[in-house]
Structure 1
Amino acid sequence: MADHQQRSGRRGQGELEVLVLSALRESDGPATAGWVQERLGGDLAYTTVITILTRLLAKGAVTRERSGRSFAWTPASDEAGLAAHRMRRVLDGESDREAVLASFVTGLGPDDERLLRELLDQSRGEGDGED
């Protein structure tokens, strides 16, 4: 029971992922797990940082390259790109894509709907090639 109470004060996995990604975005280039741990104030165990980075790698949110005996980590894209990636993953997990997209679009406010129409029109224009 005491362990449960102790855990309730901890940050959730999603919050930790956001913190780690934010730290990586602050770096001037690929960063090691040790650098991320230090940047976050050292209150996370090194193994926790590695676990979070590994989860982010599996989600496609970060990339890594060999750096000596360890790895250097880089965000795969900016925040908008990561949000879009999450949206695609949710959509890919559903059996009725059309229903999900229809529900999403009908739930948009007028400004978002207008923006989506503009973006779709731009996308079509870019895909046309020469007219």
Structure 2
Amino acid sequence: MRRLGDLEAEIMDRLWRWCRPATVREIVDDINRTRPVAYTTVMTVADILHRKGLLRREKTGRAWLYEPRRSREEYTAGLMQDALGRTDNRQGALQRFVEHMSPEDVSALAAALRAAGYMCDDADGPGTPG
């Protein structure tokens, strides 16, 4: 999975925040509040995101309604899994990653591992997923 380009990220960010399908016109109007962008440029990038499988679209009248196929969290997890898959030393990569985490992120990671069944709340050590 490839990281999003700047305009791709702007489009996806809006759709993730809005939690509803939107037209290219809505996206363009929102982006134009902070910087100018052409309707055709956003339309082209939305079509590219659709062809990449990141957006689904449905025709309503003459316009397409776009919405994300995956949540922001699912997309981020995919990037992390892809990055981890690019190393021959997963343990080393994970160790370096954790070493640079804030205490809040370490707590969030521990909570995620517990929720996935990989850790117990007591001192028994790691669990098995399930």
TM-score (norm 2): 0.61
Larger proportion of helix: 1
Over the aligned positions, Cα root-mean-square deviation in angstroms equals 3.3
Corresponding residue SS for 2:116? helix
After superposition, residues 15-54 of structure 1 pair within 5 angstroms as 15-25=6-16, 27=18, 29-41=20-32, 43-54=36-47
1:72 aligned onto 2:72: no
Corresponding residue SS for 1:124? coil
1:62 aligned onto 2:51: no
- Name segments (4+ residues, structure 1) moved above 6 Å: none
The aligned length equals: 115
Segments of 5+ residues of structure 2 without an aligned counterpart are 119-127
Tell me the percent identity: 28
Deviation sequence 1:2-25 (CA, Å, 0-9, x none): xxxxxxxxxxx7332233224334
Change (3 A) 1:97 1:74: farther
After superposition, residues 42-121 of structure 1 pair within 5 angstroms as 43-58=36-51, 60-68=53-61, 70-92=63-85, 94-96=86-88, 98=90, 99-121=92-114
**Distance in 1, Cα, partners of 2:52 & 2:110:** 29
Segments of 5+ residues of structure 1 without an aligned counterpart are 1-12
**Distance in 2, Cα, partners of 1:110 & 1:123:** 20
TM-score (norm 1): 0.60
